[in-house]
């Protein structure tokens, strides 16, 4: 039987979704695409079903305004937001210059992790 996801499993799946949205976001988004992404992230931060996580993420979004001008702007903003959670949880921070290799193009050095 499959159990409901705990905070870790939910978190991993959710980061996969969010970074993959960034990876597929246009390089030059039009006004509607930018507005849709802002709306989505605003609603996401209120509906994310780990309430402590959601509360902190809303505070982060108030402090660090979302950047949706381009794929790289959003991907980097999201990487930094993920790093803020990593830091809070005592996990290593990720090198945000590499977010696109991790989530879109694959590693330049050919590794598979
Ligand atoms: C919005 C949000 C808020 C959360 N808040 C909390 C919280 O308050 N408390 C709590 O206990 N858990 C929280 N979580 C869950 C937590 O972030 C992790 O998902 C969970 O602990 C599992 O961690 P993990 O080590 O498997 O890797 P994850 O942090 O889930 O990362 C998955 C993969 O993403 C890659 N990665 C790591 N950092 C980055 C980065 N900065 N940019 C791009 N890619 C990266 C790595 O390859 C990693 O293996 C939150 C999750 C989300 C989506």
Report the pLDDT value the prediction gives residue 113, as an integer from 0 to 100. 63
Mutate to test the pocket of ligand 1, among 57, 71, 82 (most ligand atoms within 8 A of CB): 82
Alpha-carbon distance of 9 to 11, in angstroms, equals: 5
Alpha-carbon distance of 18 to 24, in angstroms, equals: 10
Report the pLDDT value the prediction gives residue 23, as an integer from 0 to 100. 98
Which residue numbers in the chain have pLDDT < 50? none
What percentage of the chain carries pLDDT values higher than 90? 92
Alpha-carbon distance of 29 to 49, in angstroms, equals: 29
Residue with tokens 């993959």: 20
Atom of ligand 1 nearest to the CA of 11: 19
Number of domains comprising the chain: 1
The tally of CA atoms less than 13 A away on the side-chain side of residue 18 is: 23
Q: Is residue 65 part of a domain?
A: yes
- In which domain, by residue range, is 34 found? 7-105
Q: Is residue 50 part of a domain?
A: yes
Atom of ligand 1 nearest to the CA of 45: 1
Task: Report the CATH number that the domain containing residue 34 is assigned in CATH.
Answer: 1.20.120.310
Report the pLDDT value the prediction gives residue 108, as an integer from 0 to 100. 83
**Ligand 1: does its nearest atom lie under 6 Å from the Cβ of 102?**
yes
């Amino acid at each position: 039987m499959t159990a409901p996801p705990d905070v870790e499993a939910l978190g991993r799946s959710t980061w996969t979704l969010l970074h993959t949205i960034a990876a597929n976001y246009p390089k030059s988004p039009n006004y509607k695409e930018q507005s849709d992404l802002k709306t989505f992230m605003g609603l996401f931060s209120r509906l994310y079903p780990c309430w402590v996580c959601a509360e902190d993420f809303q505070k982060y979004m108030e402090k660090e305004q979302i950047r949706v001008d381009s794929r790289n702007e959003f991907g980097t903003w999201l990487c930094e937001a993920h790093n803020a959670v990593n830091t809070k949880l005592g996990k290593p921070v990720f090198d945000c210059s590499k977010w696109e290799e991790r989530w879109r193009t694959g590693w330049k050095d050919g590794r598979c992790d």
